[in-house]
Amino acid sequence: MLNLYNTLTRKKEAFKPLKGRKVGLYTCGPTVYSYAHIGNLRTYVFEDILKRTLLFNDYQVNHLMNITDVGHLTSDADTGEDKIEKTAKKEKKSAYQIAEFYTKAFLKDCEKLNILPPNIIAPATEYIKENISLIQVLEKKGYTYKTKDGIYFDTSKSKDYGKLANMDFDKLNKTLKAGARIELSPEKRNITDFSLWKFSSPNEKRQMEWPSPWGTGFPGWHIECAVINLKYLGNAFKNETFIPEQAETIDIHAGGSDLIPIHHTNEIAQVEAATGKKFVNYWLHGEFLILKDLRMGKSTGNVILIDDLEKKGYSPLSYRYLVLNAHYRKPLEFSWQALNNAQQGLNDISNFIYHCLLKAKPNSSIKLSPVLIDMQKEFKKAINDDLNTPQALAVFWKLIKKYYKEKLDPKQTYQLASIFDTILGLGLDKIKVFPLPQEIQLLNEKREKMRKSAKWTEADKIRKEIEALGFSVNDTKEGTIIQPKNKI
Ligand SMILES: [Zn+2]
């Protein structure tokens, strides 16, 4: 039984998809105007664990992710510049080039973190007609009004507005007003109202703009996600036309917890107003990464990229391992020391896998012993308890200890570790045992001779030579084990 914490109901619930074993999963993608930092990427690692857990529980997952390549303004309250157009000006490139460049960079980072790619990646600019069609339905139903700068959604007309953030309409309005981040444009009826369609400014030529029944402009950030959801998982479009009666509820929608009060609240408001049906059954949110008492974010200037980790010699997977050491619903504090410990932990795990592989060739059809079957159950229980990765890792470490202490069968142990890694995604399947290069073999033989004749200084010198070539040297009771230092 898989239990997940649902932000909407504020409790852990048994997961029940709408269509048997088929699950629709939507994850909010990046706004592609700069590199994703490791704080952003924590959310994608959490969503990857969610997806892998669903697959592990024999669900067929249809994973959809958007790319926000237009309409996300520098302020979430629909003021300021379009983030992508702004970067295009700064970098002297076209808005489309910026979007393409940072989309590729984002997908590359995800690959380095061993995040499984979505089934569908949907850039917002490819669904402009669908956006217009959904806004027309909202207009017909009386949810919209026009201002000088766009078509807005009137949140006071929405039933249960703010339910995801556990605040009613008044409370959410007061809260947003208290937060200095939101400035109320004079024509907006309520502070929580948001733009569905923004008009291009008459003073400035935009690169990304399209004609619409209301005027030339571009869609708002929140409607883009609603449209892509309804198109692929809600089956509510016939070609580019929105058919409200056809809309289906979606199983899971996930994202970072910062999206709850505005972006996801507004996605719900639009879709439920347009369809009259529940939008999403399970809402899952991942917590922040914290750096020196501040949330990591581009606006605070507190940013570390995957590239920065690599430059300092860390494997991106050591960051994944660090993330898995905290529960996704708890803030995680990043420090270089913590990353260092994570890299050490990951190295120890890969040494253990290497050890198993040295002892026996893996064989996936092998049966597990009762002790290992029990550990598999323990692991599954942890991960199915709202994706408790720290607990699942503790089971993994228990397996490693038991392997060395109780001399477990290496084939079976490797088999179980591989099962664990289908969820953890630490890249352990990439570890292979190759014959040592001849140069290393010769050095090793020379070192053995020195050791046998008690020439310790010379032996130690050769050890350093081997290490300088990227190999580690371990003298064990069963002989010397030489292996590559970086296996993944
Ligand atoms: Zn979104």
pLDDT digits (tens, 9 = 90+) for 195-222: 999 999 888 788 899 999 999 999 999 9
Provide φ and ψ at 288, rounded to 5°.
Answer: -75, 160
Which CATH architecture does the domain made up of 309-430 adopt?
Up-down Bundle (1.20)
Q: What is the pLDDT of residue 77?
A: 61
User: Count of H helices and E strands in the chain?
Assistant: 15, 18
What are 19's two structure tokens?
A: 């269509």
Give, as residue ranges, everything with CB less than 5 Å from ion ligand 1: 28, 225
CA of 321 to the centre of ligand 1 (A): 26
CA of 428 to the centre of ligand 1 (A): 32
% of the chain at pLDDT higher than 90: 76
What are 99's two structure tokens?
A: 């979007």
CA of 234 to the centre of ligand 1 (A): 15
CA of 29 to the centre of ligand 1 (A): 7
Is the Cβ–Cβ distance between 249 and 278 less than 8 Å?
yes
The closest of 423, 342, 419 to 389, measured between CA atoms, is: 423
| Number of Cβ within a 10 Å radius of residue 295 | 15
pLDDT tens digits, one per residue of 468-478: 999 989 887 77
Q: What is the pLDDT of residue 432?
A: 87
CA of 231 to the centre of ligand 1 (A): 14
CA of 468 to the centre of ligand 1 (A): 48
pLDDT tens digits, one per residue of 409-425: 999 999 999 999 999 99
CA of 402 to the centre of ligand 1 (A): 44
Model pTM above 0.85:
yes
Distance CA 67, CA 316 (A): 23
Provide φ and ψ at 295, rounded to 5°.
Answer: -65, 135
More confident residue, 298 or 391: 391
What is the band of 436 on the pLDDT scale with cuts at 50, 70, 90? confident
Distance CA 312, CA 219 (A): 41
CA of 280 to the centre of ligand 1 (A): 13
DSSP 3-state of 204: coil
Do β-strands 217-219 and 194-199 pair in parallel, antiparallel, or remain unpaired? antiparallel
Distance CA 265, CA 286 (A): 16
Q: What is the pLDDT of residue 113?
A: 98
Distance CA 61, CA 55 (A): 7
Hey, where are the domains in the chain?
A: 3-286, 309-430, 438-484
What is the band of 14 on the pLDDT scale with cuts at 50, 70, 90? very high
CA of 16 to the centre of ligand 1 (A): 23
309-430 and 3-286 share a CATH fold? no
Q: What is the pLDDT of residue 247?
A: 98
User: What's the CATH fold of domain 3-286?
Assistant: Rossmann fold (3.40.50)
